[in-house]
Chain A
Amino acid sequence: MKCARLMRSVAVLAATGLLAGCGASAAVPNTPPISPVRPLPPDSQPVTPSANANGQCPDMTASLPPTSGAIAPDSTMARILAKGRLTVGVDQNTDLFGFRNPSTGQLEGFDIDLAREIARTLFGDPNRIELRSVSTAQRVPALTNHEVDLVARTFSVTCNRLNDVDFSSVYFTAPQRILAARNSGINSAADLSGKRVCVTVGADSADRLFALHLPKPPTVLGVTNWTDCLVALQQGQVDAVSTDEPILAGLAAQDNNLHVVGNPLGYEYYAVGVPKGEADMVGYVNGVLDRIRTDGTWQRLYDADLSVLGPSSGPPQPDYSRR
């Protein structure tokens, strides 16, 4: 055994001589450095000015006259009644309008309550409703693919969207403003020059930023949900968020270090999205919205969900001039 070990040592020594240079290298090991981990919200992407930014179109917010009374047997509403529930595309990540209450797991917010009012009118029961979460970018496809019957998700009327979907009358008007940290020095749109700004992909908030024609255009990060923008802001990956004031107010309510600043960059007109060609449904939803505006429900929902925005000036006046 001892002899074997001796032999072995001899062999190893000899082999080392024979295979000189094949062993460990004396050179300092070149190990590539590990870079810091700075995760961005999933599926985030840079946003560039869109080729077909929203143009102007006459009577953009005009909708069809409201209808009420008996439901015709071959109407869209009759189909939904037969299905047994109303499927509505909503948001589960935007405080105030449509969000998942972390303590209960329930979806809450102004848009959700509005959708339930439509279900209440249709079925006599606000719970005959199926809430499907759609991201900002999915809103139009969800309607054109008929995955949902309606979309109530801070869905503003734009000329581009009118090519693909129909809208009810406007139920809320929101100015676009800016959310930034209190100590960031950002107090107006002009301060966004050369800064990093977060929006959601599919929102038209970015086009207004590019339309400002600031000396240095802002770098725009597109994410999926508005809460992703808050995460990016809290992690220092963006300097500001710019979108509709009630959405920003919902984000500011979750972080005392943030405030909403700047004059309105423009106005957004929230309406309920309806698949193209369902004029009967547009009229029916307008009928429900008409009831909500007049019987005090709108004000009640505002007080319940949006009181953080301050006292309301009442619901926007509907325009039924579309033909």
Chain B
Amino acid sequence: MGLRLPAPVHKGANWLRRLAATTPGVIVVIAAAVVVLCLVTGLVCANELGDKTTRRDTTLDRSEPLDNAAQNLYVALSQADASAATAFLSGGIESPQIRAQYQQALADAADALATATAGASDPQTRRIVGEIDADLPVYTGLVESARANNRQGFPVGSAYLREASGLMQKSLLPSAAQLTTDRFAAVRADQRAITGAPWPAIVLLVLVLLGAVVATRILQRRTNRLFNLGVLAAGGAAALSLVWIVAATLVATGAVDTGAGGPTTRSENLAQARILGQQARTDETLELITRGDTTTTEADFATTTGQLKARLIAGGGPGSPLLQQLSQWMAGHGKQVGYYNAANYPAAVEQAIGTAPADSAGTFTDLDTSVRDHLNQTRVQLRGQISSAGDAWIGSAEGTLVLMVIAAAVAVVGLWPRLKEFQ
């Protein structure tokens, strides 16, 4: 069954067919094809390459700060829980220092949440941040209930604190950990988007080049001239654009080091190390609060610190003091376990939360501060690399568009005299 076209369309098609059979017709068709292809290519290039610099800006303005805020949030929340636990373990009315620590941790969490909220553009992130926002006031409410009961000497205070800690360990911290993992993936995806080759633009530019070759061959047969300067120049502009894009891709890819020693992987390792450190520190204090059989929590502690050590080796770089600080803290933990197993509970508590330099509270803070400092250094490098990768694309969007508009114009200018010969 043939397609029955409306009469005007049918007539127009016939006219075009007849026109294409003539040399001037061929020239017109070539000119039109080159103009359309060049302009479309120019627009696609401008769009694709413009996206690269936009992506650089959103990465630096939103994704990367959110990535950093996510792990800060985890640490701040964990520190709030640790301060509440320390206040409980120390007995009586908590010291102003511990209260201040708790309040500072909550302020840090609020700070990180603000950044996280600003960067929450996808539904998954929005859901996680919403859940954290909903959990946090409930958590602080439970902690204050615990305080109020403790002040009246009611043992139920410890049950409120246990429920608060349960909410923290089962809901808040897993949410923050999920956020951290998601944001690592997002930053990696951003890096791939910034450094990746703009394939649609490249394919179209190659098409323009092929089109120029085909047009040259047809014109050779029809006009007996070796080259048409206009078509040649259009092809040259396309080739120049292609070289520009390939060079920019190579520079951008070279700017970002996503390998094992690069800041991307190192900052991931260090951020995970901070989280693992907080988890192990929680095990250390919770087993004193539970005051029961420590076999399970000690096994957890050993597993977590094992992973922590691996992350510190991967993230610390040569000559970092991290491993030494880890072994200092773990030596303190060994003392705590020794006291506990020797039924010297007060000494075990003092070792865990005391204020002497060798006490675990101090050695753990030293380790955490060092990891944080390392993390801040790698963060500077990471942002620098993303910025450089984005810089490789500067001007390419506008440049390729201009080149392709020029290509279209010179093709028309070059073909016009050939068409005029038939007047």
Contacts and interface: CB of A to CB of B under 8 A. Distances in A.
Interface of A: 4, 7-8, 10-12, 14-15, 18-19, 31-32, 34-37, 39-43, 85, 87, 92-95, 99-106, 129-135, 138, 142, 147, 225, 227-228, 230-231, 234, 250-251, 254-255
Contacts of A87: 343
B160 A231 contact: yes
Nearest to B346: A105
B366 to A, nearest CB: 26
Given A41-B166, A102-B154, A103-B92, A231 B138 contact: no
A42 B290 CA distance: 13
Contact of B159 (A4, A93, A135): A93
Q: Pick from B126, B158, B345 the residue with the most CB of A within 10 Å.
A: B158
B155 A99 contact: yes
Closest 10 CB pairs of A and B: A105-B91, A42-B166, A11-B46, A130-B343, A227-B159, A15-B47, A254-B154, A133-B291, A102-B150, A99-B155
B292 to A, nearest CB: 5
B262 interface: no
A134 B290 CA distance: 9
Interface stretch (B24-32, B59-67, B394-402, B412-420): B394-402
Contacts of A147: 293
A41 B162 contact: yes
Interface stretch (B4-12, B128-136, B189-197): B128-136
A32 B129 CA distance: 12
B142 A39 contact: yes
B158 A18 contact: no
A101 B158 CA distance: 10
A8 B291 CA distance: 67
A142 B291 CA distance: 13
Contacts of A12: 46-47, 50
Contact of B156 (A15, A40, A85, A231): A231
Q: Pick from A14, A19, A35 the residue with the most CB of B within 10 Å.
A: A14
Contact of B127 (A32, A103, A228): A32
Interface of B: 42-44, 46-47, 50, 89-93, 123, 126-127, 130-131, 133-135, 138, 142, 149-160, 162-167, 170-171, 290-293, 343, 345, 349, 395, 397-398, 401-402
B144 to A, nearest CB: 13
A8 B50 CA distance: 8
A93 B131 CA distance: 31
Contacts, number: 148
Contacts of B155: 92-95, 99-102, 227, 250, 254
B94 to A, nearest CB: 11
23 contacts: A7-B398, A12-B46, A15-B47, A32-B127, A34-B134, A37-B167, A41-B166, A42-B163, A42-B165, A92-B158, A93-B158, A93-B159, A102-B154, A103-B91, A103-B92, A104-B91, A105-B90, A105-B349, A131-B291, A131-B345, A147-B293, A225-B162, A254-B152
Contact of B158 (A15, A227, A234, A255): A227
A130 B156 CA distance: 23
Contacts of A100: 155, 158
Contact of B123 (A19, A31, A41): A31
A31 B126 contact: yes
A234 B146 CA distance: 12
A132 B46 contact: no
Contact of B157 (A39, A102, A133, A250): A102
Given A11-B397, A93-B155, A105-B91, A39 B131 contact: no
Given A15-B46, A37-B135, A103-B92, A225 B159 contact: yes
